[in-house]
Chain A
Amino acid sequence: MAMIELQHLTKTFGSGETAVHALNDVSLGIEAGEVFGIIGLSGAGKSTLVRCINLLEKPTSGRVIVDGKEMTALSGKALREARRSIGMIFQGFDLLMQRDALGNVRFPLELAGVRRADADKRARELLKLVGLEGREGAYPAQLSGGMKQRVAIARALASNPKVLLCDEATSALDPTTTESILELLRDLNRSLGVTVVVITHEMRVVERICSRVAIIADSRIAELGEVQEVFLHPKTEAAKKLVLPSRSGKLEGFTEDAAATAVDECRGELIRLAFDGSSTDRPIIADMILSCGAPVSIIYADTRTIEGRLYGHTVLQLPSDAETADKMKRWLASQGISYTKEVQ
């Protein structure tokens, strides 16, 4: 039995002409103890999906079963009790600004009616667990984003939940802090066995900690499977769009002026090389420069190497000398690398 079982979940906001279908027949099973990723572009419905798990959003139809309990059948006190076994953290941390760190972590215990002394003791332990020992008396306004999220994690864990939902939990953090929060989440998953559901629009978050991932697009699950498999062999358009670097990368900050200041021999035309995974990651540009005997400028590059295969785009500025430029284009063609003339 899965820890979280979503069956034919549908969520519609509004009705009639203006109705928005945020979720369309979504079924999903998340196993106990796994770190599960739900990834999608903004507006795909992933936030609605995670909020349906603890019924912050009431699904229009379908069933939500968490730890054997049918959440969708509960209401009032029973629902509030059930929510206590599901911790949740948010993009904006959502801490109580007028309570210090200890008070924030103690908050869910107060809600559950735990004795003050016991609640304090548990809150201290949790703050220590998330690496904030000694900051018990600090108010959220005095803490950095990463620290605030640590307090929020401690707070979410206070009631010993079996599930931890993370709704874009690292999206407001810088890359280094994101790393450390993800590491903490993975540690907690391993040490406490808590099932973690990560909602994000960032590939690297899923790559970093998730074992399985669901790609959600247009209110449906487009693809679901092991992270490796889904990211290496995206089958659907939606998945490809997320996984592979964009095909229409703009040349930001590049102007004709910038082109004019390039070294003389590199003032030629711009071409865009597209790598679709068919070429390996050998140093193509370096090879081209060596075999043609002239330098080029790399104006833009957005590539990813997945299992030794190269995906993405690179925009080059060829030498102004037409003969050398032609030679390079012929060389690229002979290597089977497709290119297009880049139009500004």
Chain B
Amino acid sequence: MSFSQVLSLVPEALWESIYMTVATTFFAYVIGLPLGLVLVVTDKDGVHPMRGVNMTLGAVVNFLRSIPFLMLFLFVQPVTRFIVGTSAGAVAAIVPLVISAFPFVARMVEQSAKEVDRGVIEASQSMGASNWQIITKVLLPEAKPSLLNGAAVSATTILGYSAMAGCFGGGGLGAVAMNYGYQRYDFLVMFVMIVVMVFLVQVFQESGTRGGRLTDKRIR
């Protein structure tokens, strides 16, 4: 394949990769953000310790995180078919991606929220803050820079997984690299897809890091 032909494959594959990554990150946070906060709040040092809940959720998160992504991808295909109607393509890949990413996101969120100074939480309690107010007015705003950094790390990890999904029937850069690059031994295609991927990771990481830094009022 000529170089220009290879390049003509990029726009659609790039779009699919971005689409998969952004959608997965979004849904992973829809589940992972509350889950991470529950893990922090119910921790034995949290504002509302609940040993049973904390241990159960922690175990579920650890269980899901310990399954290698490819195996999970194949294993949940029936679920994917049930939800999306097919197990092939970019949209279908989002299901296993979310299942794999939300426990990771939950741990990232947990980590960020735990960085919030214990004294500040206590001060809020002394002012009569309810647990809900502590979450919405203290934990989330105070952890925001760290959460944004975490989101960047999550998104780049998800992008990597999405490429893996692409190799096995998903869409995006991974699929092109697999179908044209690997199956047809066209390493130029593989190389171009890798370059685009690297570029994409830079964009995600940089915007997260920058977002975290610009919103952080601790740095002046």
Residue B125, interface by CB 8 Å: yes
Closest to A161 in B: B127
Task: Give 1 or 0 for each of A76-91: 1 = CB within 8 Å of chain B CB.
Answer: 0100111110101010
Size bin of chain A's contact surface:
20 to 34
The 10 residue pairs across chains A and B that have the minimum distance between CB atoms: A94-B123, A80-B128, A94-B119, A139-B217, A108-B127, A83-B128, A88-B126, A84-B128, A141-B218, A94-B120
**Contact present for A98 and B219 (CB under 8 Å):** no
Chain A stretch 143-173: residues in CB contact (< 8 A) with chain B: 152, 155-156, 159, 165
User: Which among B119, B123, B130, B133 has the highest number of chain A CB atoms within 10 Å?
Assistant: B123
**Contact present for B120 and A80 (CB under 8 Å):** no
**Contact present for B141 and A98 (CB under 8 Å):** yes
Q: A111 CA to B138 CA in the complex, in Å?
A: 11
Residue A112, interface by CB 8 Å: yes
Closest to B215 in A: A98
**Contact present for A80 and B126 (CB under 8 Å):** no
Residue A5, interface by CB 8 Å: no
Chain B stretch 119-163: residues in CB contact (< 8 A) with chain A: 119-120, 122-130, 133, 137-138, 141-142, 144-145
Q: List the B side residues contacting A197 at CB < 8 Å.
A: none
* In the complex with contacts A90-B119, A110-B137, A141-B217, A97-B126 CB distance below 8 A: no
Q: A95 CA to B121 CA in the complex, in Å?
A: 10
Q: List the A side residues contacting B127 at CB < 8 Å.
A: 83-84, 88, 107-108, 111, 155-156, 159
* In the complex with contacts A94-B117, A96-B120, A141-B219, A86-B141 CB distance below 8 A: no
User: Which among B119, B126, B128, B215 has the highest number of chain A CB atoms within 10 Å?
Assistant: B126
Instruction: Decide if the interface of chain A is mainly helix, strand, loop or mixed.
Output: mixed
Residue B220, interface by CB 8 Å: yes
Q: List the A side residues contacting B124 at CB < 8 Å.
A: 107, 111
Q: A90 CA to B121 CA in the complex, in Å?
A: 12
Residue A100, interface by CB 8 Å: yes
User: In the complex, how many angstroms separate the beta carbon of A135 from the nearest chain B beta carbon?
Assistant: 13
Chain B stretch 171-220: residues in CB contact (< 8 A) with chain A: 215-220
**Contact present for B220 and A139 (CB under 8 Å):** yes
User: Which among B137, B141, B217 has the highest number of chain A CB atoms within 10 Å?
Assistant: B217
User: In the complex, how many angstroms separate the beta carbon of A332 from the nearest chain B beta carbon?
Assistant: 52
* In the complex with contacts A56-B125, A84-B128, A97-B217 CB distance below 8 A: yes
Q: A88 CA to B128 CA in the complex, in Å?
A: 11
Residue A92, interface by CB 8 Å: yes
Q: List the B side residues contacting A82 at CB < 8 Å.
A: 128
Q: List the A side residues contacting B130 at CB < 8 Å.
A: 77, 80, 111
Task: Give 1 or 0 for each of A35-69: 1 = CB within 8 Å of chain B CB.
Answer: 00000000000000000001010000000000000
Residue A309, interface by CB 8 Å: no
Residue A142, interface by CB 8 Å: yes
Pick the contact of B123 from A81, A88, A99, A140 — CB < 8 Å? A88
User: In the complex, how many angstroms separate the beta carbon of A158 from the nearest chain B beta carbon?
Assistant: 8
Closest to B126 in A: A88
Q: List the A side residues contacting B215 at CB < 8 Å.
A: 98
Q: A80 CA to B133 CA in the complex, in Å?
A: 12
User: In the complex, how many angstroms separate the beta carbon of B164 from the nearest chain A beta carbon?
Assistant: 36
